[in-house]
Amino acid sequence: MAVAVKKYNPGFLSDDEIIASFCVRTAEFDSLVESLRESGTGSSPHSLVIGPRGSGKTHLLLRVAAEVRRDPALTGLFPVTFAEESYEVTTCGEFWLECLGRLADQAPGEVRENLRRTYEELRTVTDDQALADRCIGSLLDFADRHKTRLLLLVENLNMLFNDINDPDVGWRLRQTLQTEPRFILFGSATSRFDEIDNPDHALYDLFRIITLHPLDTAQSETLWEAVTGKPSAGQAVRPLEILTGGNPRLLTIIARFGADRSFRDLMENLLDLVDDHTEYFKSHLEALPPQERRVYLSLARLWKPSTARAIADLARLNTSTCSAQLKRLVSRGSVAIEGGTPRRRQYYLTERLYNIYYLLRTRGRSAKLVNALIDFAVCLYSPKDFVAAVAVFYEESRDLEINGRSVKEQITNAVIHEAEALGELGHIHDAISLYDQVIDRFVSGDGLQSDSHLAVAMLNKAMLLITAERECDAIIICSDLIERFESSTEEFLAGHVAMAFGCKGVAMAAAGSSDDALSNLDEALERMHSMGESIPTVLTATLTQAKGLVCLGVNQTSEALAFFEQTLLQYAQADEPQRPSSIASALVCKSDALYRINRTVDEGHFLLLLNCLATEGSLFPGSIEALIRFISTIEPTRALELLRASPAAPLIAPLIAAVQQELGETPEVAKEVSALAMDVLRLLDEVRAQQLQVVSQSTVA
């Protein structure tokens, strides 16, 4: 069951909702609560939680407050929760006045009115020292009357000190917190700041520091399941962790957007997510002063950890001005320091999804690089199923011409036009629904002119059903199409019957019925061969490839390899030009078969695969593994040379970065690319280990 999660501010949740939705940062929560349980009346375990925007600071502190209110062992504490932004606090007296005002809002009903009157009275005090003393007196009076200690939960403590110009404020606050055990302060900050880091400043060594690190994969999966109410799709959460930088708020946004989507659909519609949350991203940007915004956007354009000089050059500012703005951005938690040296620090944006948002919105070359990265992630983490490997059958069959008549020319009905358009856009279920309308109208005799319309609708629906993993439904409709038109002498309908046998074979293979799949594929190929040149080579080649995949699925590797070789030969001998995706798919299948017998494709086929991917402009599930298998068998320096020289290089940046890392280089790439590269390296190590194991077993035998 999904839990209630507010998009940006958990402060709007009730205690029950806070507790139900709190699923990560549990170790930090336990540490804070334990410090409260162990503190005696004479000690105050002041703590400061540090983490960038969206890392869960507010949720964590609110969870502590909820625990204090419900745990009998903590009845000697009363939480006073500040707002996330305390804009009116500019002096020490105003800090304590804000504390009194928050207490007046949160105190028990019987004392709330008196506290509110006191608060309104003290608002008129102009002397700051007198204001602070009287507010503190009222707070301690409440603590004594109720035999409790006040747990002050103060957000964005670093920004609070940036807005207060009085240098004595820190020392005055420290004196009160150190000498008055009835106050405990739990604060948050978006970054470390001078008041806690500099030994000469007031708050140095006053707080126990708890740093919120990015969520790891296991924590990301936990959060995904809590937000969506559904099990995480295994590896599918890993790229989302990478794209969000492990930021809980951004991961929550994606989880809410993608709760009812497949991983592939979610990733391919990331731009829709960006559009849905434009107000969030824009508000963050518009809140920055103009010069900070200029530096921030320049860093976003660089899309990698960068030095102040590199950022300044792009922002057209001098380095000292840029460094000053970067310092402010770091204090806001919008930018973090990542790598470099003390004299040449490198910076990057903390909210990684914002960087993606900005690059996608600006379009151009940067947007293409982001789309290539997303495509790489989809292919690296998507399941390599049977349907994905033969999806080209669906694409090619829609452009089929039989006896000079194309499938598209037969689609004169407006409903079929709309269904095709929906299918092309990926709205599979809507397209299937419209095809059902066409089929129902034909059966009822309502306004459909020819059998061709029905054949087109039925075949297109069947192939979409396979894509939607409804193989049994696809088998039923293919069988219906065959039964209706098997005896037809019209070549167009005969071609659709042949394709229906092929589609049925694909569906049966996906459903695990290997013998039935092979018999239907054989029937389809026999019928296509009898039609001669009416059937394009790509369809017969694709079905030959499908036979190979069926054999591969039942570990008949030699037979599978022969079918894949035959597929490539058919493409080579075809008179009509072939789609690069068709050739690439056959090469990937061949690579898989060879890998199972501890062999790999030769360098010529490796380069052909890269060229096909470059021409197609995208990857697909299985292509990355095929590239990795070849790379695992050659020297890394040669692999890097081939990859860099390939026209597919922009599509495989994480793969190139992985080989660079293996060679001891430090590639200057986006953090997302670097994270994907680490996963590629792990996969490369696994492939090599498996190859060594096979060799070892062969030697022993």
Query: In the chain, which stretches have pLDDT less than 70?
Result: 1-11, 41-42, 86-87, 233-235, 262, 264, 268, 271, 274-275, 383-427, 443-449, 534, 694-701
Structure tokens at 47: 């703590």
> Alpha helices of 77-156 — where are they, by DSSP H?
92-106, 109-122, 128-145
| Interacting residues of 77 by C-beta distance below 8 A, sequence separation 6+ | 36, 68, 148, 149, 150, 151, 184
Smallest Cα–Cα separation from 552: which of 516, 582, 593, 508?
A: 593
Smallest Cα–Cα separation from 591: which of 384, 377, 387?
A: 384
Pairwise CA distance, residues 614 & 608, whole Å? 10
Pairwise CA distance, residues 477 & 500, whole Å? 9
Pairwise CA distance, residues 201 & 44, whole Å? 20
Crossing angle of the two packed helices 671-700 and 352-362, in degrees rounded to 10: 110
C-alpha count within 13 angstroms, C-beta hemisphere, residue 468: 19
Smallest Cα–Cα separation from 409: which of 444, 469, 452?
A: 452
Asked if 237 and 217 touch (Cβ cutoff 8 Å), the reply is yes
The pLDDT value given to residue 239: 87
Q: What is the DSSP string of 341-390?
A: -SSSEEEEES-HHHHHHHHHHH-HHHHHHHHHHHHHHHHHHS---HHHHT
Pairwise CA distance, residues 187 & 175, whole Å? 17
Pairwise CA distance, residues 344 & 309, whole Å? 9
pTM confidence score? 0.80
> Alpha helices of 303-351 — where are they, by DSSP H?
308-315, 319-332
